[in-house]
């Protein structure tokens, strides 16, 4: 198809999407369906099944062509279908934050808290370390490393999510911080 024949008038450009997928049959296909449904044209897929992310998922990098509007629709559709989008085009998660959560983390479903942070803050949880010296029913602490494009917004979302679950937050100290 020539550029002139494309419905977008030839405005398609190349994008990269980095995802984290659960290691289950059909998960890659589920991630590709929103791309096809939104008119994305696949250029390449790098599916590294032998390597797991800190959350135990499989990293997948997809290069595709789409119009800018189509790409936004693809990313929205991926997120709506429950796919963890780590990076989308120029939306890079270049800042890293490390925070501590303290409280009944296991009892309040740490996995749900992590998913909430990723969805609300558009951040990626890149590492988690949990300490539960009193067992799963007692007080525990988790060190979270978050990759984000908006550190202030991410910290705000961390505090909101922690307040909802009765958790305390210890955030990073930065030069000149007023908190």
Q: Give the residue extent of every domain in the chain.
A: 3-88, 95-170
| Residues forming a β-bridge with 142 | 101, 130
Instruction: Give me the pLDDT at residue 93, please.
Output: 54
Instruction: Give me the pLDDT at residue 179, please.
Output: 41
Q: Is the pLDDT assigned to residue 122 strictly greater than 80?
A: no
Q: Higher-confidence residue: 148 or 68? A: 68
Matching fold, domains 3-88 and 95-170? yes
SS3 93: coil
pLDDT in tens, 73-110: 999 999 898 888 888 875 555 567 889 999 998 888 88
Instruction: Give me the pLDDT at residue 94, please.
Output: 56
The pLDDT mean for the chain works out to 82
pTM: 0.49
Instruction: Give me the pLDDT at residue 110, please.
Output: 85
pLDDT band at 48 (very low <50, low <70, confident <90, very high): confident
Instruction: Give me the pLDDT at residue 73, please.
Output: 94
95-170 under CATH 3.30.70.260, yes or no? yes
Q: Higher-confidence residue: 73 or 118? A: 73
40 vs 50: CA distance, rounded Å: 27
For range 159-167, the mean pLDDT:
93
Instruction: Give me the pLDDT at residue 112, please.
Output: 84
Cα separation of the two ends of the chain: 56
Class of domain 3-88: alpha beta
List all residues 6 or more positions away from 176 whose beta carbon is below 8 Å from its beta carbon.
none
């Amino acid at each position: 198809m020539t550029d002139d024949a494309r419905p977008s008038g030839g405005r398609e450009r190349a994008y990269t999407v980095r995802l984290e997928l659960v290691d289950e049959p059909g998960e890659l296909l589920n991630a590709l369906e929103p791309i096809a449904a939104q008119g994305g044209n696949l250029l390449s897929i790098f599916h590294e099944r032998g390597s797991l992310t800190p959350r135990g998922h499989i990293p997948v990098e997809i290069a595709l062509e789409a119009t800018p509007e189509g790409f936004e629709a693809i990313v929205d559709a991926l997120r709506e279908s429950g796919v963890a989008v780590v990076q989308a085009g120029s939306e890079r998660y270049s800042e890293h934050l490390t925070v501590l959560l303290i409280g009944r983390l296991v009892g309040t479903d740490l996995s749900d808290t992590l998913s909430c942070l990723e969805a609300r803050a558009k951040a990626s949880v890149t590492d988690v370390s949990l300490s539960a010296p009193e067992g799963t029913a007692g007080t525990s602490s988790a060190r979270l490393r978050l990759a984000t494009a908006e550190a202030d917004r991410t910290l705000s979302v961390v505090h909101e999510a922690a307040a909802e679950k009765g958790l305390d937050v210890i955030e990073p100290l930065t030069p000149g911080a007023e908190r």
